Structure 1
């Protein structure tokens, strides 16, 4: 009787060429932290607006906040997963795309914050001590603060990206 053939270990699974790996350097770096703060402040901005009674130009502020919240979320996860090369045309210039996104977001958040400040001033009459009717003053005031915070965060990340570009680096991380 012949001995059984030696057992061979199962073949090791090969990692796919396009496997997903977290870019921990981005997660811990300044731009990763700024993106998380932008997402938090942006969510606070649009949730604050959406939960109040709003009309007129506040629709634009809500549009800007939701649009850039979604775009920032997309940029964050694409960069975190290191899949910039999958973005057609723009993937090779990812740092420039990020800076352009941040500058456009800062400009439009500036306009949205201005709208919210104007709406806060228009509703300042209901900040009186004995005013009993429902009013959106406090929601608009909170949204103005969140909008200003978003504006500052996007300007800061644009400045960081410009500094990296000036140093000759072409990568976000």
Structure 2
């Protein structure tokens, strides 16, 4: 018996692919923000991005390794509901984060001119806004997928 078996079926599943996209887009968002000077409401965006990046990593690896039964109260037959609740919370919190990034991008649009020579965060905020939108879309896709599975009476994420 192998000590740790990897469920390759999960990697090829719709949710597995969407989880990978969530991890990549989430990392892109928080790295874009953290690598540059930020202030004010951007802290909320960074909080949402890092929190859900870490939680998504945990869900991904627990499912990939087939260890969801070891999670007290949330694992086992509740794993689909746990994933669904996580995805709903992520989508809901990413929406105001997108609003913050769009607001900050618009506030810095004045410096998007070729002749403007000072340091400007417009492109950083625009990139972060795109990553936030991609993250939210990925979480919304997994909400729809999880809700469909739940409505069919299924209890597993694969």
Normalising by the residue count of structure 2, what TM-score does the alignment of the two structures yield? 0.97
The 1-side partners of 2:51 and 2:39 are apart by 18
Q: Which has the higher helix share?
A: 2
Q: What RMSD over aligned residues (CA atoms) do the two structures have, in Å?
A: 0.9
Give CA deviations for 1:119-159 in whole Å, capped at 9, x if unaligned. Answer: 00111111122000001100000000010000000000010
- Correspondence 1:118 to 2:103: yes
Given candidates 50, 53, 61, the residue that maps to 1:69 is: 53
Cα offset, 1:44, TM superposition: 0.4
Aligned residues: 157
SS of match in other structure, 2:114:
coil
Q: Which residue of 1 aligns with 2:21?
A: 37
Within a 5 Å distance, the mapping from 1:53-132 to structure 2 comes to 53-92=37-76, 93-132=78-117
Runs of at least 4 residues off by over 2 Å: none
Q: Does 1:141 align with 2:131?
A: no
The whole-number CA distance in structure 2 between the counterparts of 1:50 and 1:89 is 34
Unaligned runs of 5+ in 2: none
Unaligned runs of 5+ in 1: 1-14
Among 14, 23, 26, the residue aligned to 2:7:
23
Give the whole-Å Cα distance in 2 for the aligned partners of 1:78 and 1:66.
18
Q: How far apart, in 2, do the equivalents of 1:98 and 1:172 lie?
A: 8
| Secondary structure of 1:42's aligned partner | helix
- The TM-score with structure 1 as length reference comes to 0.88
Question: Quick one: distance in 1 between partners of 2:93 and 2:47?
Answer: 10
